[in-house]
Amino acid sequence: MPLLLQSPSMTQDSATPLLALIGFMGAGKSTAGRLLALELACPFIDLDDEIARAHGSIPDLFSSRGESGFRAIEHHHLGLMLPRLERPTVLALGGGAFLQPANRELLARYCATVVFLDVPFEIVRARIENTGEQRPLVRDLERLRELFELRRPTYLLAHHAFDASAADPSELLASLLRLANRLGISAPARDKL
C-alpha cells in the first residue's frame, strides 16, 4: 500500500522546505529543477547525477547490481544527502525513487514538498527517444508504457502536480515559482541598474 505524504507543516520556526521534483523519465525534472534553482538562487541537486558521480553510470549500475541493487544505492544516497542539504534546495529524483516507501518516508521526515511533473506518455516517449540517452528500464515500447501506467498512481501521492508537457518550460517554471513563493522561498531581490 502506498505511503501517503503528509503536507509539510510550515511554522515560523520550521526550516524552509525542500522542493523535490518527481515524475517519469523524460518529464523534465532536471531541466525544470535547474531553471527553478537558478531563479531562486539556491542549490540544485539531481540525485541520479550524484549517484553516477559516486558509483559510475546508472546503466552500468543496473547491469552490475540489478534494479534492486541500484534502488538500495539510491536510498542510501538520499538518506545521506537530506540531512546535509542547505535550505532551500531543489532536488530532482530519478523516475523510480519516489516509488520506494522508504524514500517517501525520508522525504516526509525532512519536510520535503514533493512536486509531480505530469506528462502524457506519448510526450515522455518522444523525449526519451530524442535524447538518445541509454535508459536501463527502457527495452521496448510496451514495457515503457506499462512502467508509466504502473508508476503514475504513486506519483499522484505528491503534494502538488503540474503539467510539464509543454516544449517551452516557461509556464511550468512560473507555476513552480508561485508554489515556491507560497512556501516562503523567493528569489533574492536583484539590484536595479
Average pLDDT, the chain: 87
Give the whole-number percent of the chain exceeding pLDDT 90. Answer: 70
Which pLDDT band holds residue 190 (cuts at 50, 70, 90)?
A: low
Query: What pLDDT is attached to residue 15?
Result: 53
Q: Which three cell numbers stand for residue 99?
A: 516509488
The C-alpha cell of 76 is what?
542510501
DSSP one-letter string for 83-135: GG--SS-EEE--TTGGGSHHHHHHHHHTTEEEEEEE--HHHHHHHHHHH----
Closest CA to 158 of 93, 113, 106, 109: 113
156 within a domain of the structure (yes/no)? yes
| CA distance linking residue 173 with residue 176, whole number of Å | 5
Residue 71 resides in a domain? yes
Confidence of residue 2 (pLDDT cuts 50, 70, 90): very low
Q: What is the DSSP letter of 169?
A: T
Q: What is the pLDDT of residues 168-180, one digit of tens each?
A: 999 999 999 999 9
**CATH number of 89's domain:** 3.40.50.300
3 occurs within a structural domain = no
Overall number of domains in the chain: 1
Q: Residue 131's pLDDT is what?
A: 66
SS3 content of the chain, % helix, strand, coil (to 5): 50, 10, 35
Q: How many Cβ atoms sit within 10 Å of the Cβ of residue 161?
A: 16
Q: Is the pLDDT of residue 11 over 60?
A: no
Supply the range of the domain harboring residue 89: 18-182
What values do phi and psi take at 119, rounded to 5? -140, 135
Q: Is 6 inside any structural domain? A: no
State yes or no: pLDDT of 107 exceeds 70. Answer: yes
pLDDT in tens, 66-96: 999 999 999 999 999 999 987 799 999 999 9
Residue 149 located in a structural domain: yes
